[in-house]
């Protein structure tokens, strides 16, 4: 039976979720679909385009409008939804981040971030710039968060040499303890930094070009 474009996409998502971005190669994908590598190029012109389609799948659902009428809540919700979408797939943040430069310009997600600004008094240009700044933050934070989480998964398997139900070790976290804690709270902190910055811009729009 014939391979359809959707099958290729589903196969790619499956490899991504199970084995990660590094294992998402055209040859491995072909093998998992029981087909020769060249066959994939009938459905997608190249790997870049395939990954773009995967990114669109990861990001789909982000465009349902927020039901709040507060601009700060709209920004916050959008940011949290984007983060959640990235975290929902293995290496999701890294993949979207890597494709971002060439594709996010035409993305719906970007437009929604912009709209959340223009709807509440920001000029088009300032809303664009604020949207990008926020996107950079969300992507950067989430790439970092996800890679740390994956490192910890590996560490959890490598560590625990004595007993799995040993009492909690105290004193081993002096290393990076300040960066521990609920990632969502850490995410929210940077988000609030942005939102407060935008609030200042809305309060006194003419300060935009001053160096702080």
Q: Summarize as ranges the residues that interact with DNA (CB under 7 A).
A: 2-3, 23, 25-28, 34-39, 41-43, 45-48
For a copy of itself, how many residues bind (rule: CB under 8 A)? 51
158 binds a copy of itself (CB under 8 A): no
For residue 181 the two structure tokens come to 């804690």
In angstroms, the CA 21 to CA 81 distance is 22
27 binds, among DNA, a copy of itself, none (CB under 5 to 8 A by kind): DNA
184 binds, among a copy of itself, DNA, none (CB under 5 to 8 A by kind): none
147 binds, among DNA, a copy of itself, none (CB under 5 to 8 A by kind): a copy of itself
200 binds a copy of itself (CB under 8 A): yes
15 binds a copy of itself (CB under 8 A): no
Give CB contacts under 8 A, 24+ apart, made by 14-21: 16/54, 16/89, 16/90, 16/91, 16/92, 16/95, 17/89, 17/90, 18/90, 19/90, 20/90, 20/91, 21/90, 21/91, 21/94, 21/95
Per CB under 8 A, residues contacting a copy of itself are 72-73, 75-76, 100-102, 105, 124-126, 128-130, 132-133, 135-137, 139-141, 143-144, 147-148, 176, 178-179, 185-186, 188-201, 207-212
């Amino acid at each position: 039976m014939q391979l359809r474009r959707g099958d290729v996409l589903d196969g790619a998502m499956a490899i991504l979720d199970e084995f990660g971005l590094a294992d998402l190669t055209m040859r491995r994908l072909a093998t998992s679909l029981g087909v020769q590598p060249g066959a994939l190029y009938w459905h997608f012109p190249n790997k870049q385009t395939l990954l773009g389609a995967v990114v669109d799948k990861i990001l789909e659902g982000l465009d349902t409008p927020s039901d709040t009428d507060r601009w700060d809540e709209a920004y916050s919700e959008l940011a949290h939804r984007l983060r959640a979408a990235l975290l929902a797939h293995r290496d999701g943040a890294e993949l979207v981040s890597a494709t971002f430069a060439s594709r996010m310009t035409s993305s719906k997600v970007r437009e929604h971030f912009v709209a959340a600004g223009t709807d509440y008094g920001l000029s088009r240009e300032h809303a664009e710039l604020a949207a990008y700044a926020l996107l950079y933050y969300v992507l950067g934070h989430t790439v970092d968060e996800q890679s740390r989480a994956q490192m910890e998964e590996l560490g959890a398997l490598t560590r625990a040499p004595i007993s799995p139900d040993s009492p909690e070790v105290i004193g081993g976290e002096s290393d990076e303890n300040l960066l521990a804690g609920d990632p969502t709270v850490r995410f929210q902190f940077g988000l609030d930094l942005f939102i407060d910055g935008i609030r200042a811009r809305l309060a006194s729009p003419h300060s935009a070009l001053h160096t702080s």
